[in-house]
Amino acid sequence: MSESTEKPSSPRVGGGAVVSLLVAQELRWLYFVGLGFLLLAGTALSVVGVVLLHQFLGYTKYSNEASPAGAVTFLILGLLVFVAAFAIYSLRRYFYRIQELAVAEIKNIELSKINEKDFEKVDEILRIREEKARVDFERNLSDPFLISFLELSGGDFFGPCSWRLQPGVNVLLGRNGFGKSLLLLSLASLLQRNEEVSNDLFESASDDAFMRLTVERNGVPESIRRERRRFTESAGKIPILAIPDTRFVNRLDTSIAPPPRTML
């Protein structure tokens, strides 16, 4: 009689599904709904138990109809539901911690396998990127640009919004603290392809957040797009003239220039 080569199903499959259900970010709403339901159910059962116990002790006119066994049963059920809610909450925190430790351990193992020679290609890519940025900037110096459309979505301060600019002078009005300076900073960071400044605008943004600026070079539209991780579309660094707040400008000056360098 031949032995079966079929392996028994692993009991960890079901457990893995439960763990995935508890820690999955896209299903966290289900976790909160379930936890809220358990808390409400536990509260309702406890209240019923307290009311029945109150009646049994003779504090109401229904004391003869109350049963101590029923009151104790409801109180125990309420307590068990609270314990179940606390257990699910603790399990989720525990599984999150295990997941974080596992990711950190895998990351450390992978990083330990990397040596300096592995960075040669990265250095070459960075050098090519810097060279391309220089060539793009020199090209942009001689080309006229017209800003036509700015779109923001999922950022830290603004909700989904857009601004269609018109040729000539565009006026931006708003009360203090409503984001005028931040909006102009967002626009400037896109024009300058500034990774550092634009990173600050995505500090706590959602994964699908983005900023998109449409410019026209010699009448031909080009797109500049910055997502949370990086720039995905760019026209290179575009030179801009930023005039400071007139409150801090000496109006006796007839020209605007960088401050003189101090010799040490």
96-149 pLDDT, tens per residue?
A: 888 888 888 888 887 777 777 777 888 888 888 889 888 999 889 888 999 999
Q: What is the pLDDT of residues 64-105, one digit of tens each?
A: 555 678 888 888 999 999 999 999 888 888 888 888 888 888
Q: Alpha-carbon dihedral of residues 145, 147, 153, 159, nearest 10 degrees?
A: 150
* Average per-residue pLDDT for the chain: 80
- 26: pLDDT strictly greater than 50: yes
Secondary structure (3-state) at 170:
coil
Beta-bridge partner residues of 177? none
> What percent of the chain shows pLDDT beyond 90?
16
What pLDDT was estimated at residue 1? Answer: 42
| In contact, 81 and 42? CB cutoff 8 Å | yes
Strand 145-153 vs strand 210-217: parallel, antiparallel, or unpaired?
antiparallel
| 127-243: CATH topology | Rossmann fold (3.40.50)
Euclidean distance between CA atoms 233 and 67, whole angstroms: 73
Judge whether 235 and 132 are in contact, CB under 8 Å.
no
Contact 177, 225 (CB under 8 A): no
213: pLDDT strictly greater than 90 = yes
Question: Domain residue spans in the chain?
Answer: 15-108, 127-243
Helices 12-23 and 68-112, packing angle to 10 deg: 90
Residue 137 to residue 144: CA distance in whole angstroms: 13
